Amino acid sequence: MARVGLGSGFGGWGRCRSESGDDANDGTGAKGTSTVPVQTNYRRIEVAIERLWSSTRSDLSATGDMAMKAPMASVSSQSGGQPVQKPRIILAASGSVAAIKFGVLADSLSDWAEVRAVATKSALHFIDRQSLSPSVKLFVDEDEWASWGKIGDDVLHIELRKWADAMVIAPLSANTLAKVAGGLCDNLLTCIVRAWDYSKPVFIAPAMNTFMWENSFTRRHLESVKDLGFVIISPIPKKLACGDYGNGAMAEPSVIDSTLRLSMHNRESRAKPMVLDSL
């Protein structure tokens, strides 16, 4: 029976392969190919592809609540009898009052991912360390130097970058946005970003006063980080901590969580070749 590899996406089927490993007939009758006719199985392949597309469309059109239910890798789950590694996410916070929600977001992400947390000195004014799950280790600027004593020792911001599959900065203050956009690296968070492997995603959830958000500097800084491939989870309008009403509040933790969950799920799905058996 023919075995059809779909590669990493749905855009093209390529050539079919038989179980013996020979190229299956592509309809041209080219010499040297197997005589298994693709057309005879066309309808069954079409049905299988439609099922896959239906599943993908459902994921892509899901709202926040539905996206939060998207299946993710779990250490305890099995795929072909082998444990599947959870996604590894760095959750970072900078100095915004929205960092009071840091523990809630860390808990949500921990439900489906391994999480390591990073906080700037300003962010620590708003983060209750005691509220963080024991499974979430929090790193601060002092840890950068405490872990290094001599040449050859591990460098924390490099090790965290190597460990992670993705990074999310929530909240991202106007100050840290400006630093990142300008390439500054004067603390643990900005050093991780400067050393980042941009084949892996970075998500940012800005949080600042409305006038800061609408400032022309902010627009320029956002364009700079978008050029790096950052995914911007836009702020929302509401009554801000300063008493003003306007756009600039960090997106809700549930929205940030569902955005990451769906993105990582789709990324994982694209990375895995899919094989249709018994067509």
Do the bridges between strand 231-232 and strand 202-206 make them parallel or antiparallel, or are there none, so unpaired?
Answer: parallel
Spot the catalytic one: 16, 221, 242, 265: 242
Do 110 and 133 form a contact (C-beta atoms < 8 A)? yes
Q: Is 221 assigned a catalytic role?
A: no
Which of 16, 157, 221, 265 is flagged as catalytic?
157
Residue 61: both structure tokens together: 């059109």
Distance of CA 113 to the CA centre of its chain: 10
Look up residue 260 and give its two tokens: 């990451």
Question: Structure tokens of 77?
Answer: 């789950």
Q: Is the bond leading into 171 cis (omega within 30 degrees of zero)?
A: yes
Pairing status of strand 114-119 against strand 78-79: unpaired
Cis-peptide, bond into residue 237, ω within 30° of zero: no
CB count, 10 Å around CB of 228?
Answer: 13
- Pairing, β 137-139 against β 245-249: unpaired
Our answer to whether residue 191 is catalytic in this structure is no
Q: Where in the sequence numbering do the catalytic residues fall?
A: 157, 242
